[in-house]
């Protein structure tokens, strides 16, 4: 795989994760303001950030905290 192909695949993943990152930001803010535990959402958000470090052809998306 060429560098251009790798970057293209990473960009696709970044676009796919964008709404998930926005949702996690909102949940973290809500929990933080309420004094709630943000650790599960922090872990989820980091896993979303790391999605471009794994298998670009078959990414393993993290499970959203309940």
Predicted pLDDT at 66: 87
Is residue 1 very low, low, confident or very high in pLDDT (cuts 50, 70, 90)?
A: confident
Model pLDDT for residues 9-62, shown as the tens digit of each residue: 999 999 999 999 999 999 999 999 999 999 999 999 999 999 999 999 999 999
Q: Locate 9 and state its tokens.
A: 């695949």
Q: Is the pTM of this model over 0.75?
A: yes
- 44 contacts 25 by C-beta, under 8 angstroms: no
CB atoms near residue 45 (< 10 Å): 21
DSSP 35: T
State the burial class of residue 17 (Cβ atoms within 10 Å of its Cβ: 0-12, 13-18, 19+).
buried
Torsion angles phi and psi, residue 2, rounded to 5: -80, 165
CB atoms near residue 47 (< 10 Å): 16
């Amino acid at each position: 795989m060429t560098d251009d192909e790798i970057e293209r695949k990473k960009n696709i993943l970044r676009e796919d994760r964008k709404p998930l990152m926005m949702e996690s930001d909102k949940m973290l803010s809500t929990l933080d303001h309420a004094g709630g535990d943000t650790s599960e959402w922090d872990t989820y958000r980091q896993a979303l950030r790391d999605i471009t470090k794994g298998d670009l052809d078959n990414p393993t998306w993290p499970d959203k905290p309940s």
